Amino acid sequence: MPNYRAPQIHSSEITPEEVWQSRRHWMKAAGASLLTGAAAGWPSIGGAATLPSLDATVSKQFFTMEPRTPEKDAASYNNFYEFGLDKGDPVKHAHRLQTSPWKLRIEGEVVSPKTLDIDDIRKLAPLEERTYRMRCVEGWSMVIPWIGYSMSELLKQVQPTGNAKYVEFITDVQPKNMPGLSSRTIQWPYNEALRLDEAMHPLTMLVLGMYGKVLPNQNGAPVRLMVPWKYGFKSAKSIVTIRLTEKQPVSSWMKALPSEYGFYSNVNPEVSHPRWSQATERRIGEDGVFAPKRKTLMFNGYGNEVASLYTGMDLRKNY
Amino acid sequence: MIRTVSARTLDRAKILLFAAGLFPLARWIWLGMQNDLTANPVEFLSRSSGTWTLVCLLVTLSVSPLRQWLQQPALLRWRRMCGLFTFFYASLHALAWAWWDQSFEWAPMLSDVWKRPFIMVGMAAFLTMSLLAITSTHGWMRRLGRRWQHLHSLIYAIALLGLLHYYWHKSGKNDFTTVAIYAAVTALLLGWRLLRFQKRRAP
């Protein structure tokens, strides 16, 4: 029998999936901007491969040996209700988010309120890449390399007054670009808050990018919060206002479902959600369909760093 | 006027109903082959099996009204298969919970059922449905006689429990659009029965 050899295809001839996928996004976005006549600025695009890269020093302090979640999963499985309730909705609709120009206002109980644009924020402190675990309240988790710096760098600049006890983070509202705003699930704008000492903790991060690039819109471009020891919804996306307050702010989720979501929302395997257990989680993109769920760690495994913030508190009451 | 379809024709066409009933399963396999079950296939399959259980349940409940509206009494011969497909997807839905959510650990499963009304209601619906599936054979119909009819009226309770289960699931996001659609269809199908019941009672 003659030996048949299939023709070899050079790997250089194969178009990587991200590239051909991004072409579709790019063409859609280009078409959309032509229609709307939005000529100013680069159209915001959902495809990860087309995003500009963002240089950062890899942090040795904030690092995990756990495998990273595939970028495709982290950028396509999102909760961002402004773009729809389904986790597949944000990647479909978030290209409509207008991220440039962007102004971030820091106000309230501060000595010097500031309004910054993205370039100001980028230059404010050296950018670091930190790999954090992220645990969603719904029972799944990811491991994501974020780019940014500690939120404290920003807060030091505005000098909180003696009255400042809490920090509130408010997401932008763009009625024309956010199809999810018609849902009455929660009150818009989306807001979240931390105690000032939580916000000043070095782990609490102001995020501008992930996976070596600027943030995809569905992940909260151009600037978001990341608090790795709390459930994911605490880490507000696409932030336009940071407000320091004396009184504890009421977050969107506390208003919507006070029995299910409290102010602290620390990852805690011992305190169940009213409708499901929080003892275990499924790691997206890593745990196979036949693998059992893994155990959730107290404070998402950041207990050594943050447990002292809650000394003497009953974390069952302060959920 | 539509021609009345004979029982024999419907019996022969049952294979089509069977194929239609397998559509959700075939879709999952197809999506799996395309690597298109989302980033969280386990969650997708758990939820999708629940949704299809509700759809099959409503199809089963619409057989009797359709028999009357279309004047096709022989449609009754398709009702059992509709009910059994409902049970098939409900079983997969329960299996998804027991396996993916609970790893078949009996103690946590029992406490989950006991502590969470959302799970308890779903489980109650599933266990009741199992009873109906077991007694769906000709043998059991004969053995139970008139009582079979009464026993299988439990499908109305199952439908309401299933809806409540779905409502509680969706209440986490205050997202009741789809719940309202399923509830409206259920109300229509049960309302038709109430009206018929009243008419029969009226002198």
Total Cβ atoms within 10 A of residue A81: 24
pLDDT tens, position by position, B46-105? 999 999 999 999 999 999 999 999 999 999 999 999 999 999 999 999 999 999 888 898
What integer pLDDT is reported at residue A7 of this predicted model? 52
Q: Give the pLDDT score at A273.
A: 86
Query: Is the predicted pLDDT of residue A197 greater than 80, yes or no?
Result: yes
* Chain B residues within 8 A of A85 when measuring between CB atoms: 173, 175
Q: What is the pLDDT of residues A222-274, one digit of tens each?
A: 999 999 999 999 999 999 999 999 999 999 999 998 888 999 999 999 998 87
Amino acid sitting at position B133: A
Q: Residue B184 CB: number of other CB atoms within 10 A? A: 10
List, for residues A85-115, the tens digit of each pLDDT value: 999 999 999 999 999 999 999 999 999 999 9
The answer to whether the peptide bond before residue B73 is cis (omega within 30 degrees of 0) is: no
CATH code of A41-307, in short, is 3.90.420.10
pLDDT for A13 equals 54
* Distance from the A157 Cα atom to the nearest Cα atom in chain B, whole angstroms: 37
Residue B2 in any domain: the answer is: no
Question: pLDDT-derived band of residue B2, with 50, 70 and 90 as boundaries?
Answer: low
Structural domain count, chain B: 1
CA distance A113 to A156: 11
C-beta of residue A148 within 8 angstroms of C-beta of residue A226: yes
Most confident listed range (B100-109, B174-183, B184-193) = B184-193
Write the CATH number for B158: 1.20.120
A274/B173 CB distance under 8 A = no
> If pLDDT is split at 50, 70 and 90, which confidence band does B177 have?
confident
pTM of the predicted structure, to 2 decimals: 0.79
User: CB-based contact (8 Å) between A295 and chain B?
Assistant: no
> Residue B125: pLDDT above 80?
yes
Is there a contact between A140 and B43 if contact means CB atoms under 8 Å apart?
yes
Among A108, A76, A114, smallest CA distance to A95 is for A76
Q: Measuring CA to CA, which residue among A47, A99, A49 is closest to residue A76?
A: A47
Binned at pLDDT 50, 70 and 90, residue A17 comes out as low
Average model confidence (pLDDT) across chain A = 88
C-alpha–C-alpha distance, residues B21 and B84, integer Å: 10
Residues in contact with A164: Cβ distance below 8 Å, sequence separation at least 6, in sequence order? A108, A109, A110, A196, A244, A245, A246
Domain holding B156, by residue range, is 7-201
pLDDT over 60 at A47, yes or no: no
At residue B35, the pLDDT reads 83
Q: Inform me whether the C-beta atom of residue B178 falls under 8 Å from chain A C-beta atoms.
A: no
Rounded Cα distance between B179 and A185, Å, is: 14
Instruction: Find the closest chain A residue to B108 by CA distance.
Output: A277
How far is Cα A256 from Cα A41, in angstroms, rounded to an integer?
36
Domain boundaries, chain A: 41-307
The per-residue pLDDT for B143 is 95
CB-closest option in A72, A183, A260 to B172: A260
pLDDT of A165 over the 70 cut:
yes
ipTM field: 0.71
Is B174 in Cβ contact with A184 (below 8 Å)?
yes
User: Is the minimum CB–CB distance between A258 and chain B shorter than 8 Å?
Assistant: no
Query: How many angstroms away from the CA of A140 is the closest CA of chain B?
Result: 8
Q: Which amino acid is at B49?
A: S
Q: Give the span between the Cα atoms of B162 and B123, in whole angstroms.
A: 9
User: Chain A closest CA to B50's CA: distance in Å?
Assistant: 16
Q: To the nearest whole number, what is the mean pLDDT of chain B?
A: 93
Which pLDDT value is given to residue B26?
Answer: 97
